Structure 1
């Protein structure tokens, strides 16, 4: 009887594990308060989003999730208006073809206190030196990816800010509901 040359066999270990999921890079991300209309990929596969913060989806913002590119107006300067879908697509495509930034992590949804602070900073950024400045919901469009709140939430917070700080924000009502918000100029003693 002949013995085999190699008698010991090692059992093959069975490893049953799910592959690690890919981190979200913006391919399917839809934050609260915005509508993502188009997505472009830059040279390093970071996502360039075209999104809208208004219900009609007429005006758009272009944001790169790789670098800090974020525009709501035509950067060429040839037209001084907000971006329509065609213009936003053109701007996003131009940026995606030249950007080489790697994808950043998607911003987490902030808690309500942090979102209120961001809203107040945006309101203060609209303040003019010597006259009232009207605030439109579009003033918050560039920060929508970090704010991640609906227009209803923003309007409610603006109403609350007008009630809490009448020296800063005034809500002009129409038929009992606030329709327009104005940021008052800084008091004379705070101007520098």
Structure 2
């Protein structure tokens, strides 16, 4: 009988690294700057590959670029100003919504873009501020918009243009004017 048998310790698996607000990047975006709020919440400055940027706080509900086109310097200025006064605690990385919830976010944004009088042309950059909560790339958002246009042609019109000289195919998105609501059940 041996008192101290030699055994190799059983290795414990190391857990996969969790995304933290300091390292997390929403799908389909490039985070260019991060600011730390007073109580530790992270404010992101990000782009989806276009010339425009947005800022979003992961501690509170602050978003810049909801209906404005920001260049990186202006988005960084807004993010820094927000971080200097934000007292929100860090909430961590938002959970990725399921496809139905993400489609609802897209539909809500299109309804916000609708006007009562005239058509409103828009691009995928109009969804830049929503990227933190959508956590989807351009292709998914475009597919959701095409699906919305097929299901609700009175809300959205999608036109795919011919390829240009550079080989790019352009997609034109138009939020159609809202119809007059006669009853409260017509409101959406």
Tell me what 2:158 maps to: 171
2:24 corresponds to which of 18, 25, 29: 29
Specify every segment of 5 or more residues in structure 1 that has no aligned partner in the other structure, as ranges. Answer: 1-16, 74-79
Tell me what 2:93 maps to: 106
Q: How far apart in 2 are the matches of 1:90 and 1:158? A: 32
After TM superposition, list the pairs within 5 Å mapping 1:49-60 onto structure 2.
49-53=44-48, 55-56=49-50, 58-60=51-53
Q: Would the aligned equivalents of 1:40 and 1:48 in 2 still touch at CA under 8 Å?
A: yes
**Rg larger in 1 or in 2?**
1
What TM-score do you get using the length of structure 2 for normalisation?
Answer: 0.78
1:162 corresponds to which of 149, 161, 169: 149
Q: How far apart in 1 are the matches of 2:139 and 2:16? A: 34
After TM superposition, list the pairs within 5 Å mapping 1:100-139 onto structure 2.
100-139=87-126
Aligned: 1:61 with 2:47: no
Tell me what 1:70 maps to: 63
Q: Would the aligned equivalents of 1:171 and 1:178 in 2 still touch at CA under 8 Å?
A: no
Specify every segment of 5 or more residues in structure 2 that has no aligned partner in the other structure, as ranges. Answer: 1-11, 164-168
CA RMSD of aligned residues (A): 2.8
What TM-score do you get using the length of structure 1 for normalisation?
Answer: 0.76
Aligned: 1:182 with 2:169: no
Q: Would the aligned equivalents of 1:25 and 1:46 in 2 still touch at CA under 8 Å?
A: no
1:48 corresponds to which of 43, 52, 64: 43
